[in-house]
Amino acid sequence: MCEKRFQNKNALVTGGSRGIGRAICLRLAEEGAYVAINFASNKEAAKEVLNTIDTLGGKGTLLQFDVSDSAQVKEKISNFINEHGSIDILVNNAGITRDALLARMKEDDWDKVISVNLKGAFNCVQACSRAMMKARWGRIINIGSVVGTSGNPGQANYAAAKAGLEGFTKTVAKEMATRGITSNLVAPGFIETDMTAVLPEKVKERLLGEIPIGRMGNADEVAAAVAFLASEEASYITGHTLHVNGGLICQ
């Protein structure tokens, strides 16, 4: 039997209990990684992901912490590395939305989105970086968004965080390339998740009219892009933004 791509690799997926994060956890586990499923509060959803991984014959564990809390991040990641030896693949997927038009956006909603979506990635990369540099191998994959490139009315905070994540990704790539660590960003377009399921039908119809492929993407398609960038096949790709958006933005 052929060895799986991520055999003997440890992966941490933040926001791994639902949607895109869940699909990434399952894909990495299916390909042999030991997956730490991070969640902030929904333990039942995280347990469901772990149970599904077990059913598929994979292995993993739950890792609860708030990515925006640097002390929590350092403690939990340090404990995991001490127990398991490494975090080889880090996927910064945790994110929230607090939508409002700019004129009405509350300062707290701006701060919270930036703190989770952008600072959270910084916290996790910083906490994992030393062990990755020591091992001289690592894969950092940040989950951005098409709105980080295009902007989106009512999402000034979210778009700013995702655009910032792209600059952060490129800087990490340049700082860590000599240590065998790659840093890339996957920017999904409109993906079928709990977040898009609640959109009114008229809004969905308008969105579909803007997507050349004519449909929304699914979480498994995003997970496939992440798995590729985490693999040895992508060892010469770093500082790159991979758009998974059905042609909504062509770059």
Catalytic residues: 158
Q: Is the distance from CB of 143 to CB of 95 less than 8 angstroms? A: yes
Burial of 96 (0-12, 13-18, 19+ CB in 10 A): middle
The span from the CA of 129 to the CA of 78, in Å, is: 11
The total of other beta-carbon atoms located within 10 Å of residue 147's CB is 22
Q: What residues have CB less than 8 Å from 206, skipping those under 6 apart?
A: none
128, 15, 141, 60 alpha-carbon torsion, rounded to 10°: 70
